[in-house]
Structure 1
Amino acid sequence: MNPSVLLLILAIAILFALERTFPLRRQKQPLGRRIVVNAVVAALAIAAALMIVRPVASWLLEAVSQNRWGLTGIMQMPVPLQGVATFLLLDLSFYYWHRANHAWPFLWRFHNVHHVDPDLDISTSVRFHFLEIAFSAAFRALQVVVIGGELWMFVIYESAFQLNTLFQHSNIRLPITIERWIVLIFVTPRMHGIHHSKRFHDVNSNWSSVFSWWDRLHGTLNLNVPQAAIDIGVPGYSEPRDNRILQLLLMPLRPQRSYWSAEWKLPYPVQRDAGNVLPE
């Protein structure tokens, strides 16, 4: 078995056990039903990635390596520095891609499938509409051509990206002191949980993928939200039928409902701590 795949399976098993033992938020729906739904949606997304995204990226990576395209190739960097620059630029570009998926109505139709999950745990990390994954092939191609770099650099970033995606979606209650240190560098479960809140202000914050500092640099970091105040999901898609498999697959292709009513655009009705620090 591919070592990176084995590592992901091991990470899923460990994180799943931890979120069952030390849950951060109380779940609203039965776990078994959600896992089945999310697994089916994820299977289609993985198929799209293997059939479309991976071949496009592999072909372009070979061309980029041979012709030294991209910023890191043009600048003639030493290999170690090129590896670091490639990693950082890939992560920064994913910050912008994530923002685009929220800002552009067409892309949001598909990304909404990820957000309407009424609970947030490790199964949500793989719940993406297969057409969102297919469309991302164009973004991945742009990443490769503009940034450049060697294949191993993309493999290292992709491994870190996938591992942190699993971690930040997990429903693990880390000791708050430890998580406050981790979030200075990486996206954590509490930080990303805020992004999955039904509150309009919250969902439009915390877009980073691996490193949390992109949100700090862009002024979109939002930490001082008590986890007990967070209601996961999208207000306009909160009916039980909205999380059925067929409904999720057809959802982006149908006329869209209003996502956020006026009440979900108001400030929190609870007192929040001063400063931008993770509360308990």
Structure 2
Amino acid sequence: MTAALEALVGQVLDDHYRVDALLGAGGMGAVYRARHTTLERDVAVKVLHTDIGADSSISKRFDREAQSASRLDHPNCVRVTDFGTTQAGVKYLVMELLVGEELGARLGQPWEPEAACEVLDQILAGLEHAHHCGIVHRDLKPENVFMSRGLDGREVAKIVDFGIAKLLDADGAAEVLTRAGMVFGTPRYMSPEQAAGGKVDERSDLYAVGVLAHEMLRGQPPFDSDDLASILRMQIMAPPPPLPDSVPAPLAAWVESLLEKSRHERPASAAAAREHLAELRKLLRERSTTA
């Protein structure tokens, strides 16, 4: 597989994108740094593995990712600028080239609450936009949050990889592109309803934000095991462990609200969760100035 991935370096896709270097690879595809030869601009190109792309259902999911992600236009969502299929049948997706690192590279130790809140606010802002566009991510995890820097030097969290996103129709019902009962996502960050193979909506993404928040504030995810089936059971039934005493009680309660087992007991939307977080941050700042 490595030789096949490297073989693409140096080729030009659809007369526009010169592939310069392999940046990373996963089970579904690989990401390259490329150069738009006409605009003379560096971009990132995600390519679906050819053997996987031969599967019509997976190919359709990839096309749906491209179509849905290209609708997103927000500072906290990666920008998709083009997509297509070459004459050789290679399916590709063109994105802005990000410089920085995955959120996962910074986990493992507890964060200061205010630093965690700043990143969580940005993640929620990106989700609010995606949900407004009818897109549920369904696989929000540290590897899919990229820490980059804006033109003003401020660090920006960008949500990437809407590869298993589910597009909602105008009535809010999900257009299911996969067979009923199939479970997609990452168990450590998967909502209870997703772990059980049930209905997934915007509040499933909010649960994943709760898992991220818990991991940032505690230094480790709430549920972990070498046995993936055990993690799924814990997501469905086990209460999350308490956060450290260093986490202010109102913030801990907010995280717990995101981790409610029933999606009906979580915040109603990313906007609602973000509004509550803004109130908490204001309260914590007032407490710090009067302490």
TM-score (norm 2): 0.31
TM-score (norm 1): 0.32
Question: Using CA pairs below 8 Å that are at least 6 residues apart, which structure has the higher relative contact order?
Answer: 1
The structure whose residues are more often helix, as a share, is 1
The structure whose residues are more often strand, as a share, is 2
Greater C-alpha Rg: 2
